[in-house]
Amino acid sequence: MSSATASKSLVIKAFPRAERGKERASAMRRTGNFPGVVYGAHKETKAVFFNLREFEATRAKTHGEKVLVDVQYEDGTIEKAFIQEVQREPVTRAILHADILRVSLTEVMTVSVPVFAVGVSAGVKNDGGVLEQVSRKIAIRCLPTIIPPHIDVDVTAMAVGDSLHVFDIPAIEGITFVDPKMVLFAVSHKAAEEVAVVATTAVTAPELVKKKEGDAATADTATPAKGAAPAKGAAPAAKAAAPAKGDKKK
């Protein structure tokens, strides 16, 4: 029901950064570079900077997924890591800062990876249902070297009313799912319910309008505007209140 894509290694060149502060960072960005840090794996945090073009080119190849990269320093040292977070300028979307998470290849770690549906569910194809993705990421535990960029889940067997949980995914060697009971996908009658609501609204709307118009007319007749002449042919209120024939005041 699922498949995992193997990680691929990419290279990011990191250069030591001695000076810090907003002014220094701004000056650095004007030269086509930007600041960042490399941390984790029980080692000291390193203040570094990256070339903007090279970093963007490497990040584009990850497609935003959890991909193991090689952080290469000037002295030739290489550390395995993940691009953990990238901060961007809200308007121009230029990179302002990057956090790189260094990892130990021998330590199991917990990460979240995207999950994607594969195929068209039977409930959608045959019964007009709607496939809803309840969770877009799965938390897993495994070694950094086997973290999949994403996990594909086959949903073709799902009928209307079915839910697919993490425990429904076939076992993947070396990977443990943190929350097996988490719901990933569900097929519902939502589409049919929406059609019914629209149809009901279309039928009842004119009736509601007529009722409101009738109410307004009744109010206008019962309470004439102050000073307005009574409608032609209308009996005065006093006559309307006159006693019936044969009733005499004693």
Residue type, 72: Q
The whole-angstrom separation of Cα 83 and Cα 57 is 13
The whole-angstrom separation of Cα 102 and Cα 80 is 6
pTM above 0.85, yes or no: no
Residue 208 three-state SS? helix
Digit-coded pLDDT (tens) for 24-41? 888 899 999 999 999 999
By the 8 A CB rule, do 54 and 32 touch?
Answer: no
Residue 22 banded pLDDT, cuts 50, 70, 90: confident
Higher pLDDT, 198 or 22: 22
Asked whether residue 232 carries a pLDDT value surpassing 80, the answer given is no
Asked whether residue 229 carries a pLDDT value surpassing 80, the answer given is no
The mean pLDDT value of the chain amounts to 81
Instruction: Show Cβ contacts of residue 82 under 8 Å, excluding neighbours closer than 6 positions.
Output: 66, 67, 68, 69, 100, 101, 103, 111, 144
| C-alpha closest to that of 115 among 153, 169, 73, 143 | 153
The whole-angstrom separation of Cα 81 and Cα 145 is 10
Digit-coded pLDDT (tens) for 51-103? 999 999 999 998 888 889 999 999 999 999 999 999 999 999 999 999 999 99
The domains found in the chain, sorted by start residue, are 7-106 (2.40.240.10), 110-191 (2.170.120.20)
